[in-house]
């Protein structure tokens, strides 16, 4: 992928032209066959050669804007993330789902969330559902391949039943929060503590980001090296509520907007903890054989409706660069995220061009680890290891941003359809090769392309599982006790 100059002087990826159109099979078949063959081959070769699979550390930030990293031209200081990007593979066209829960589910399963009912919204604090337990997920695959597995940070894949919790899903240890949003100092959601070590509710003082970094460092320090380590480090920064220690706020005296200053401070705190983790890896002699992945879980939030359960006011602070809109939408600003992979001496420094989606991480990491995915259901993810290892171009030519009962967004080559099928309906068609900011709707000019892509969406919709959020929302809404006035108040008013 080439880079173009934005009006503000920063650089943005120029989307590829000339990709071939594919059939419905391309959207729906996934990468299972390609992945299975590649994984089996790598696993057999690694065992025969006596090679040790790498440690894998997967780091996710929470609601971080595309531009809000130093290497994308931000005024926010992220030297440790920047160093990983400069020395590794910058994934220039990496897509996530529009919101927290769906992205985390897609990462864990290698399957679009529409396959198992997590495509709409997020699991609310009062929700009783979670990632279905029949889904075979990343830590299970890596654990069966001989990895030690640890999870630190935000889970958000089910909290109401212990069967959904991290240690029931393949992690040897868990430290962090189960729900989607917590107070970063009090570690509470709606006044209820949400801070665990394994299955034990604990009470600790400290800023969540710092505590997550310290725990990740402890996991690495305690690792005995007899087996490779998989560490999933999911920060809650910079998700609302916007909070940060004074020492980090003081780093940005020139940012006048209070929310933007706090948001920047939260990202810098996270970057410092990534630096702490890198230092411990080096001290333990593990850095050279450790693959690190970093991504945001979705685009930065630009609309209060998607900011979470905390009250926000004024202009929201995230910056998605030249891309339209943000979290909660299937426009590029909500789904195209900063992402990188770094493995010294194995992954060359440079750009990996072409589309990549978070569902691709399960098959790609399984190839690296020599893990079997025979227990997985049909994958949507594709093995991207060859493109990453060679700083090449990915083989992906289609993408399902999301499909739910009211809308569908897909991409075929450079053509992107955004279809809101409810009333009033809205149909938008964009050519991302010439219009990455999605400013020019080509739907009326290209009715044939629209019709064909709408057909793809309808075919996908016939295969999707209904969203679990809808019946849950109905239950939460109509199962809530009445909120009625006291009789005394009515009497006083009438008097």
Of these residues, 100, 184, 223, 239, which one is catalytic?
A: 100
Other CB atoms within 10 Å distance of the CB of residue 87: 14
Residue 123 is given by DSSP the state: -
Rounded CA separation 111/378 (Å): 8
Beta strands in 377-478 (DSSP E): 398-404, 407-412, 415-420, 426-431
Rounded CA separation 369/56 (Å): 9
Do 380 and 31 form a contact (C-beta atoms < 8 A)? Answer: yes
Phi, psi values for residue 147, rounded to 5°: -80, 150
Rounded CA separation 345/279 (Å): 18
Measured between alpha carbons, how far is residue 271 from residues 9, 36, 166, 241, 260 in Å?
A: 24, 35, 25, 18, 16
Measured between alpha carbons, how far is residue 313 from residues 241, 259, 305, 307 in Å?
A: 11, 9, 11, 10
**126 by DSSP, 3-state: which?**
coil
Number of residues that make up the chain: 495
Rounded CA separation 302/355 (Å): 24
Do 381 and 110 form a contact (C-beta atoms < 8 A)? Answer: yes
Do 164 and 193 form a contact (C-beta atoms < 8 A)? Answer: no
- Told to judge if 15 belongs to the known catalytic residues of this protein, a careful annotator would answer no
Of these residues, 156, 184, 223, 239, which one is catalytic?
A: 156
Residues classed as catalytic = 100, 156
């Amino acid at each position: 992928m080439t880079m173009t100059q934005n009006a503000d002087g920063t650089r943005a990826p120029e989307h590829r032209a000339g990709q071939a159109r594919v059939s419905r099979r391309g959207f729906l078949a996934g990468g299972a066959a390609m992945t299975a063959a590649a994984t089996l081959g790598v696993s057999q070769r690694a065992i025969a050669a006596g090679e040790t699979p790498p440690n894998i550390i997967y780091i996710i930030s929470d609601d971080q804007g595309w531009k809000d990293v130093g290497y994308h031209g931000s005024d926010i200081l992220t030297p440790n993330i920047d160093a990983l990007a400069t020395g590794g593979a910058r994934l220039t066209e990496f897509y996530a789902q529009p919101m927290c829960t769906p992205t985390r589910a897609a990462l864990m399963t290698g399957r679009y969330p529409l396959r198992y009912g997590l495509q709409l919204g997020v699991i609310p604090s009062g929700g009783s559902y979670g990632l279905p337990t029949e889904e075979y997920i990343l830590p299970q695959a890596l654990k069966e391949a001989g990895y030690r597995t640890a999870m630190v940070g935000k889970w958000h894949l089910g909290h109401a039943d212990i069967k959904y919790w991290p240690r029931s899903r393949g992690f040897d240890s868990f430290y962090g929060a189960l729900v989607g949003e917590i107070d970063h100092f009090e570690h509470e959601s709606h006044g209820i503590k949400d801070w665990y070590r394994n299955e034990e509710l604990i009470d600790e003082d400290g800023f969540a980001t710092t505590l997550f970094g310290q725990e990740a460092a402890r996991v690495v320090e305690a690792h005995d090296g007899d087996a490779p380590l998989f560490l999933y480090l999911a920060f809650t920064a910079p998700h609302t509520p916007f909070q940060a220690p004074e020492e980090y706020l003081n780093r940005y005296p020139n940012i006048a907007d209070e929310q933007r200053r706090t948001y920047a401070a939260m990202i810098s705190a996270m970057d410092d903890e990534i630096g702490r983790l890198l230092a411990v890896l080096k001290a333990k002699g593990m850095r050279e054989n450790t693959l690190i992945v970093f991504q945001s879980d979705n685009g930065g939030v630009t609309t209060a409706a998607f900011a979470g359960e905390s009250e926000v006011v004024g202009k929201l602070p995230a910056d998605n660069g030249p891309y339209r809109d943000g979290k909660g939408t299937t426009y590029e600003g909500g789904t195209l995220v900063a992402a990188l992979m770094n493995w010294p001496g194995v992954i060359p420094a440079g750009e990996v061009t072409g589309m990549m989606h978070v569902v691709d991480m399960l098959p790609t990491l399984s190839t690296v680890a020599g893990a079997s995915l025979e227990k997985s259901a049909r994958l949507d993810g594709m093995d991207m290891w060859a493109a990453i290892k060679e700083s090449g171009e990915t083989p992906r030519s289609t993408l399902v941003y999301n499909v739910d009962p009211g809308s569908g967004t897909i991409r075929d080559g450079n053509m992107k359809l955004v279809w809101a099928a409810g009333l009033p309906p809205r149909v938008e068609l964009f050519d991302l090769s010439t219009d990455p900011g999605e400013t020019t709707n080509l739907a009326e000019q290209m009715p044939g392309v629209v019709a064909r892509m709408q057909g793809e969406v309808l075919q996908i919709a016939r295969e999707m599982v209904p969203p679990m959020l809808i019946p849950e929302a109905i239950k939460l809404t109509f199962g809530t006790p009445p909120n009625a006035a006291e009789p005394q108040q009515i009497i006083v008013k009438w008097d």
